[in-house]
Amino acid sequence: MATIPLQLAQRRLDTGNVAAYPDGSPVGAAMQGFGDELSAIAERFRQQKQQQDAFDADIIGRELNARIAHAEAVAVQTAPTDGSGLHDFMYGQLDPRSDGVVKPGLFDQIFDDTVAKVPEGERANFLAQKQALRLAGSARMAAQQHARRQTYEQTEWNKVEQIYTSSIAQSDPNDTETFEAIRQSGLDLIGKMGNPLARQAAEAAWRSNTAKALVQAMIAQDPRRAAEMLGGEAADARLADLTPDEKQALVRHAHAAAVRAAEVPAGIE
């Protein structure tokens, strides 16, 4: 299908090199009408082209969003366990004073590759969206990196806590110096965790868990004595972080261990 050049829409019939017809003559009126119709057709063509460009730009924008989402998902999946470098890999670094890009990221490559596909008439509007897309994506990746880091710290702390509490449970319960050294070492590591709420929760759990581990060591050594200490008014200060419910549960455990220890093995008189 033939198309009408856009420049034709910007002018009426060019009469500079053709014969002029008297105003009001049938031929002149016809030529005038033809010129008006041609201009209207060209205007409709321009509007149609503008609408098509807007549609194409929208489709390209949706494809861009899909590419960004896919790239972010892959970046999260392949990031280090602690999430380090995740944000900068995807969105680079900005100068906080000017919001200028100091170090481009994968987002810049994806966006710049996409811009070339955008119709020229829509390109300026498309480029104007880049900063907003960057800021939104930057916030997403920062949140992902922060969450990954928190999970990493909690996982690593759980490993350390397991090792420490097992060591206490198998140690001499009368060795207060070693117990306090282990407990303080754990508190020092907890103090380096980045999330204040996680630190608070970890510290409370650590004090309780080390006390429970100490009771396990006491029960292994002398279950009756452990039960008496848990139920006595002058309880060991190292057990001060146990709740009443925890103490009751440990007392029951100590009594059960004492009963088992007192049982005579079958076949032996």
What band does 94 get if pLDDT is binned at 50, 70 and 90? confident
Q: Please indicate whether residue 16 or residue 190 has the higher confidence score (pLDDT).
A: 190
- Structural domain of residue 72, as residue ranges? 36-145
Domain membership of residue 86 (yes or no) is yes
What band does 61 get if pLDDT is binned at 50, 70 and 90? very high
133 and 196 both lie in a single domain: no
Domain membership of residue 10 (yes or no) is no
Question: Which runs of consecutive H residues, i.e. helices, occur in 102-222?
Answer: 106-115, 120-128, 130-169, 176-190, 196-221
With residues binned 3-state (H G I as helix, E B as strand, rest as coil), the percentages for the chain, rounded to 5, are 70, 0, 25
**Residue tagged 């549609």 (tokens):** 55
Domain membership of residue 24 (yes or no) is no
179 and 117 both lie in a single domain: no
120 and 174 both lie in a single domain: no
Global pTM value: 0.73
40 and 138 both lie in a single domain: yes
49 and 128 both lie in a single domain: yes
Q: Please indicate whether residue 189 or residue 103 has the higher confidence score (pLDDT).
A: 189
What band does 190 get if pLDDT is binned at 50, 70 and 90? very high
**Is residue 7's pLDDT more than 50?**
no
Give 94's strand partners: 101
45 and 125 both lie in a single domain: yes
H or E segment and range at residue 103 = strand 101-103
141 and 189 both lie in a single domain: no
**Is residue 264's pLDDT more than 50?**
no
What band does 265 get if pLDDT is binned at 50, 70 and 90? low
Domain membership of residue 238 (yes or no) is yes
Write down the pLDDT at residue 150.
Answer: 95
Q: Please indicate whether residue 50 or residue 176 has the higher confidence score (pLDDT).
A: 176
Write down the pLDDT at residue 211.
Answer: 95
97 and 186 both lie in a single domain: no
Number of domains observed in the structure of the chain: 2
125 and 75 both lie in a single domain: yes
125 and 189 both lie in a single domain: no
The mean per-residue pLDDT over the stretch 160-178 comes to 96
